[in-house]
Structures are given as structure tokens and as C-alpha cells.
Structure 1
Amino acid sequence: MKAMILAAGKGERMRPLTLTTPKPLVPVGGVPLIEYHLKALAAAGFTEVVINHAWLGQQIEDYLGDGSRYGLSIQYSPEGEPLETGGGIFRALGLLGEGAFVVVNGDIWTDYDFSALRRPLAGLAHLVLADNPAHHPGGDFALVEGQVFDGQADAPTLTYSGIAVLDPKLFAGCTDGAFKLAPLLRNAMAHGQVSGERLPGHWVDVGTHERLAEAEHLLQASR
């Protein structure tokens, strides 16, 4: 199973840091954010990783290289202009192969064990959902007996963590260009094709300076 890290965002809410540094290379505890994912993926047994990039993307390639120092083989999917989540993954499908693959948002910090995802996929997607953070109290989706639903009135919602396993068939009928992943997931949910799990550990969506500080705090506490 291959993995893809989404690293094409501009990180506008984290300026001035991201004016000269792509968000995945912003340090948390002295280590670039994306390195935590690479090390965790390698520890979980992954060997092949695809990384898309746009804003200051050459810096990502220059820093990470071919991935050999992490025990990985890294391929890159440059975009020029960001293609959003769905479009970025669709552009990279040729590098990801025909089987299901893991996708991870490059701007999160987590201690999640990625080895839990190395299992057969039932349906078109499997989502890892986190407890709702303060900045997103309404959540995204409901998790009921291992299935993920959109707008399930009688079930509490959780927040999509930015970690998933996707089947390339999820993108059937899509064309090259910028589009979001969420509508594809919601369509698959309507057909009972999305499973899920609740993230058991720590998770931070590092989208602002305040949340960067939160990730720093959690990292310090875990050492």
C-alpha cells in the first residue's frame, strides 16, 4: 500500500511564517511538520510515498529528496496552482497505482499509528475521525457502528482528521482540475461505501499560530 501526503496548501493563516516556508516544512518542536508523517509512515511499514506540492514546492523536494534517509521512496506531484484536495489526489493517481492508498493532510500533527490502516478496504473510503476541536465544534460526519454518514441526526458528529484510505474508484468520472474531496466522500457515504474509526490519540489541525503552539505543547508533554 502506498501513501500520499497532501502538501500543496499556501498556509495563508500562518503568515508571515509561510511567506518564505511551505507549511509542511514549518517546524514543530524543531522538526518540520511533514517529517513526523514520513517517520510514522516508515515505522508503520510503508515504503512508497507520493507528495503533491504547489506553493514553494521546490523547497519540499530540496529538503526531503528521494526519501531514502527516512527509509522511503518519495515521488512528487507538482501542481503549479493548487488543485484542492480532490484535484490534487486525482492528478497523482498515476503515481499511486491501482490499489487503495493512504492519504494524509500535510498540515496536521498526530501520534496516530498508521499501521492500523494497512488492511483491506471495504467500500470506497475509510476515514479516521477525531473528536471535535474548539475551532470546529460542529464536526463533519457521524460514525455509527463503523460506518460514516453525512448528517445523521441521531448520532454525534466527529471531525475528519485528514487521514484516510481511498480507493482510486472513488474518483471515477473525475477530470483534471481543481475540485474538493468532500463531495466525492459524501456521495460514497450515501451509497454506504465509507467506513470509519475514531482517532484514539492526539491530533491537531495546524492551521493557525495558536494551533501550532498547541501541537508544540502536546509534543513537549509526550517527551
Structure 2
Amino acid sequence: MSRISVRGFAVASATAVTAVGSVVGVASGSTAQNNDAEAAAADLTLLADIPAGQQAQVQTTSLTQQAETQAIAADTTAKKDAEEAARKAAAESAVAKKEAAEQAAQEAKERAEAEEAASRSATRDASDFTPQSSYSIGEIQSMAQSMVASDQYQCFSNIVDHESSWNYQAVNASSGAYGLFQALPGSKMSSAGSDWQTNPATQIKWGLSYMNDRYGSPCDAWSFWQANNWY
């Protein structure tokens, strides 16, 4: 039954009740019964104005909207939680990668230092070589390679190349500088051995000690040589 038909039925019923009440009231001479009839008709009219089906529909729509709102809020919260968890995981991953890289770098440094120490400890001394009556450039260079740390040898070699071209008996005609390193005077090499004039191993020992003591290393000595053309 539609709202219009219900209202129509209610109005018709109220009219009928009012009419009956009026007749009865006139016949009996009672105004109270007439008033009761009119109140009943008014109540029926008010009830007719409230469509039950529409109220149910409004309530259902309201509940649906509330559920949708709650679902949206829950979805938003879930997304925020997921984003926060992702940011936290990314930050933890970045920290872990940084720590791993730092550890790898430290381990590489320690390995390099260990290799350098091993290289230095493996170097030979001048006394390890049996003196000869003469030496070729190749033999002298081989001596130097076994006495100088591998990471310093090229710098060491560069200096000898420029000073004497690996001639352990080279003499500077004007100054008297002598040997592989053109020591001046040459006799200062006696601190490494009395055979400094004839033994390139003794000269190498002295030259390496001189570079380390004065400059810190052969490569530091070579850097100075490049800037000044002497060392």
C-alpha cells in the first residue's frame, strides 16, 4: 500500500469516525464522545504520515554508508601501516647495507695491510746475496725487487733510472757522486757495508734506508724528485 493510499484510508476512517461520533454525541447530548472521536481521527492521520517502508529504506542506507565509511577508514589505516612498515624495512635495509659495506672495506684494508706486511717481511737483506766480481743490470734489478716492498719498487726503480741507469759504479765527473743513488760523498754508503763500492746489494740497502728515513718511503722520495729533480 502506498503512502497516498494509506493516508487516504486514514482520512476516510477518521471522517467516518467523526461523523458517527457527531451523530452519537448529538443524540446523547455528550460532547466528550465527540472529542474522543476527533482525537482518534487525528492520531490516525499522524500515523498515516509516517511511511514504514521509507523509514526502513533510510535506515538501511544510513547503515550502508556507515559501513562504507568504516571500510574506507580501515583501508586508509591499513595503507598507512603498510607504507610505514615499508619505510621502516627500507631504512633497516639501508643501514644493513651500509654496515656490510663498511665491514667489507675494513676487511679489504686489513687484507691489504697484511699483504703489505707480508711483502715487507719477505724482503731480503744485502747479506743474503753472495758477492760477485761483477753484476749485470738484470741481476741488480732482481736484487732490488727482492729487497724493496712490491708496492714501492716502481718508485725506487724510477729514482735509480734517473740517477745512474742502474750502474752501481757510476761516478759523477764534476761532483764525485757515486753508485746507484749518486751518493755524495759515496763513502756515506759505508754505513750499510764496507763493500759499498763493489756490491750493489749494499748500495740498495743504503738507498732504501735513506729514502725511508728522509722521506718516509721510496714513493714519497720519488714524488719529491719529480717536483725538484733531485732527492
TM over 0.5: no
TM-score category (smaller protein): under 0.3
Structure with the bigger RCO (C-alpha within 8 Å, sep 6+) is 1
Q: Which has the higher helix share?
A: 2
- Between structure 1 and structure 2, the one with the greater Rg is 2
- Using the size of structure 2 for normalisation, the TM-score is 0.23
Q: Which has the higher strand share?
A: 1
